[in-house]
Amino acid sequence: MARLPRVLGTDDLPLAELCAARIDGELFVIDEGWAPVDEPDLPAFRAEAVALRVPRRLIIERLSAAWVHGAIDAPPRTAQFCVPLHERVAVVTGPGTCVREVVIDAGDVLALGSARCTTPARTAVDVLRDPGLDDGVAELAVARLVEAHAGVAELVRARIATAHRLPHLALARRRFARAEGVDRVGALPGQPSLTR
C-alpha cells in the first residue's frame, strides 16, 4: 500500500475527505495543503506545503522562502517562485502564484524534501532587493534570517558589497543596514511593545 505524503492535496484525497479529517481534528490546513496535526513544523514540511501550488521544478523564493526558513509567521498570500534562466518550464499561471526567471547558482538552492528553495542567504538578498515590499517587512524578515542561520549576515554583506550591476542594490544596502538594528523579537527600535 502506498504511503501518503506529509502534506496532502486534492490529488491525494478528495476535498470532502480532507475537510472531514480537518473537522475531526486529524488534519490542519497549511498554505494550500492539509497535514496531520502531529507533523513537526520544519522547513522541509513548509516547503512541501508551498510546492503544492506549482510543478516541482520551480524554486521557492523571496517571502515564500522566508516563511519556509521561519523568518515570517505566515505564508504570503501570493506564493513566490523562480526558475533558472537555463531551464525550460511551461508558463505557470494561476491565482496565488508568482513565477519569475532569474540567474541563480546551484549553491543558492536547497533541496527540502521533494521541494527546492533558495538558501537563507539568497532569500535575504532577494527580500532586501524587492522594491514591492514594505521596508519594515523586508528588514524584519532579514533580521530573523540572520539571527536564525549562522553566517548569513556575512554572506549577505559580502554579496551586496561585491555586486555591481544588481537591480535595486542601493535599496538592499539601506535595508540591510537597518535590518541589523531591528529588535530580534520583531519590533523595530523605538516601537512600543504590545501591552495586554
Q: What is d(CA 81, CA 100) in angstroms, rounded to the nearest whole number?
A: 7
User: DSSP assignment of the chain, as one string?
Assistant: -PPPPSSB-TTTS-HHHHHHHHHTTSEEEETTEEEETT----HHHHHHHHHTTS-TTSEE-HHHHHHHTTSSSS--SSEEEEEETTS-------TTEEEEEE---GGGEEEETTEEEE-HHHHHHHHHH-TTS-HHHHHHHHHHHHHHSTTHHHHHHHHHHH-SS-TTHHHHHHHHHHHTTS-TTSPPTTPPPP--
Residue whose grid cell is 520583531: 186
Question: According to the model, what pLDDT value does residue 19 have?
Answer: 94
The string of pLDDT tens digits covering residues 25-72 is 999 998 888 999 998 889 999 999 998 888 778 999 999 999 999 999
12 inside domain: no
118 inside domain: yes
Question: According to the model, what pLDDT value does residue 93 have?
Answer: 67
Residue whose grid cell is 538558501: 119
187 inside domain: no
190 inside domain: no
Q: Which residues pair with 80 in a beta bridge?
A: 98
Residue whose grid cell is 538578498: 125
88 inside domain: yes
Domain that holds residue 154: 41-179
Q: Which residues pair with 33 in a beta bridge?
A: 30
Question: According to the model, what pLDDT value does residue 96 have?
Answer: 85
The total number of structural domains in the chain stands at 1
34 inside domain: no
Low-confidence ranges of the chain (pLDDT < 70): 1-2, 90-93, 182-196
Question: According to the model, what pLDDT value does residue 192 have?
Answer: 45
Report the 10 Å Cβ neighbour count for 163: 14
51 inside domain: yes
29 inside domain: no
**What's the whole-model pTM score?**
0.86
Question: According to the model, what pLDDT value does residue 17 have?
Answer: 94
